[in-house]
């Protein structure tokens, strides 16, 4: 994030005990459609698992679809693999559904991190989805979009690290 200079966020909320700087050193975002096909979810999980096996940190949105499958794929590799970073479109604590809370517990229990641009307790919002995607690209050196509909914007373009 330091490389962003004046474009860096003023603050970042993070849960977990790992070093964000250390995990982001070799990080790749794996993202895609929230309503991903079974094949898209399979590819996201497979790609993320392979990256984690090679000690590359997977960064993905905490949620459903391709991103959720990417986090699950990275987490399924166990302690020998790089722990992932899950990014929220709301605060790092909030009134989330059970599926998101399971992902959070799995992430934190595996040495991963939960990150957000929003303060704890800020509710999820589709309007904050672009901020979440921006943070995912800011934390990483590459972005893999495994499945997205035409006209969707899975990640901000034009950013250089």
What pLDDT, in 10s, does the model give residues 139-156?
999 999 998 776 665 555
Q: Are 132 and 139 contacting, i.e. CB atoms less than 8 angstroms apart? A: no
Q: What is the pLDDT of residue 160?
A: 43
Q: What is the pLDDT of residues 35-60, one digit of tens each?
A: 899 999 999 999 999 999 999 999 99
User: What percent of the chain clears pLDDT 70, i.e. is strictly above it?
Assistant: 86
Residue 159 has pLDDT above 60, yes or no: no
pTM of the prediction? Answer: 0.87
The pair of three-digit structure tokens given for residue 47, joined into one six-digit string: 């790609």
Residue 19 has pLDDT above 50, yes or no: yes
Q: Are 92 and 13 contacting, i.e. CB atoms less than 8 angstroms apart? A: yes
Q: How confident is the model at residue 132 (pLDDT cuts 50, 70, 90)?
A: confident
**Checking DSSP bridges between strand 85-87 and strand 57-61, what pairing results, if any?**
parallel
Question: What stretches of 85-156 adopt beta strand conformation (E)?
Answer: 85-87, 113-116, 142-145
Q: CB neighbours of 123 closer than 8 A, spacing ≥ 6?
A: 90, 91, 94, 95
Residue 158 has pLDDT above 50, yes or no: no
């Amino acid at each position: 994030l330091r490389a962003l200079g004046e474009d860096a966020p003023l603050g970042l909320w993070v849960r977990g005990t790992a070093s964000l700087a250390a995990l982001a050193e070799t990080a790749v975002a794996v993202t895609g459609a929230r309503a991903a096909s079974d094949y898209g979810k399979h590819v996201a999980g497979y790609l993320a698992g392979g990256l984690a096996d090679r000690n590359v940190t997977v960064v993905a949105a905490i949620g459903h679809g391709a991103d959720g499958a990417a986090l699950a794929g990275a987490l399924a590799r166990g302690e020998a693999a790089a722990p992932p970073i899950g990014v929220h479109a709301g605060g790092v604590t909030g009134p989330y559904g059970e599926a998101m809370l399971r992902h959070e517990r799995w992430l934190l229990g595996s040495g991963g991190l939960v990150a957000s641009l929003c303060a704890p307790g800020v509710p999820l919002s589709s309007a904050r989805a672009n901020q979440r995607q921006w943070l995912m690209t800011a934390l990483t050196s590459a972005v893999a979009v495994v499945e997205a509909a035409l006209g969707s914007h899975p990640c901000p373009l034009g950013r250089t690290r």
